[in-house]
Amino acid sequence: MSTNPKPTILILCTGNSCRSHLGEGFLRAALGDSANVQSAGSKPAGFVHPLAIKVMAEVGIDISAHSSKHLKEFLEQRVDTVITVCGNADQACPIFPGQLNRHHWPFFDPAKATGSDEDILRCFRTVRDEMRRVFEAYAAGFKDALKQR
């Protein structure tokens, strides 16, 4: 049995109010205790968007206790994998101590959706579903790699 601490996966976005929390929610649900999954932003909004909380609840994942954090909180910690989900965060992303992997998977920011309330909610659901496919596929590969150790 390895004495290494479980790997930390940090999901970054500019505002840390929507997309990074969707990704964090999916990875936490899929990986359970096999990884320390966190999210942060380069310019955190200070809140988790209510519609992000709503659309995740629709698929059985509760992110209502998540908080918006600045990526600086993680600069002194070992971060094994950084996943950026927007272009601005990718450009602002520093190298973290112990960082082994970096992935950039950009998604549309549903907080910028316009139209009726239903149009905006539909946008949040679309982004959620796109992110679910990507993050659940990543989680499956991550779990397979853990089995190989």
Q: What is the CATH number of the domain that holds 14?
A: 3.40.50.2300
Q: Which residue has the higher pLDDT, 24 or 97?
A: 24
Q: Give me the mean pLDDT over the 51-79 stretch.
A: 95
How far apart are alpha carbons 75 and 23 in whole angstroms?
20
Under the banding of pLDDT at 50, 70 and 90, the label for residue 45 is very high
Q: Which is the catalytic residue, given 22, 48, 86, 123?
A: 86
- Asked whether residue 37 is domain-assigned, the answer is yes
| Mean pLDDT of the region 91-102 | 69
Which pLDDT belongs to residue 75? Answer: 87
Query: How many distinct structural domains can be found in the chain?
Result: 1
Percent of the chain with pLDDT over 90: 71
Question: Is residue 1 very low, low, confident or very high in pLDDT (cuts 50, 70, 90)?
Answer: very low
Q: Is 18 a catalytic residue?
A: no
Residue 149 located in a structural domain: no
Residue 55 lies in a domain: yes
d(CA 112, CA 145): 36
Residue 147 lies in a domain: no
Q: Domain of 116?
A: 8-141
Q: What is the pLDDT of residue 90?
A: 54
Residue 2 CA to residue 86 CA, distance in Å, equals 34
Q: Which of 9, 13, 27, 63 is catalytic?
A: 13
Alpha helix positions (H), the chain: 19-31, 50-58, 87-92, 117-148
CA atoms within 13 A on the CB side of 96: 27
Q: Which of 12, 27, 93, 123 is catalytic?
A: 93
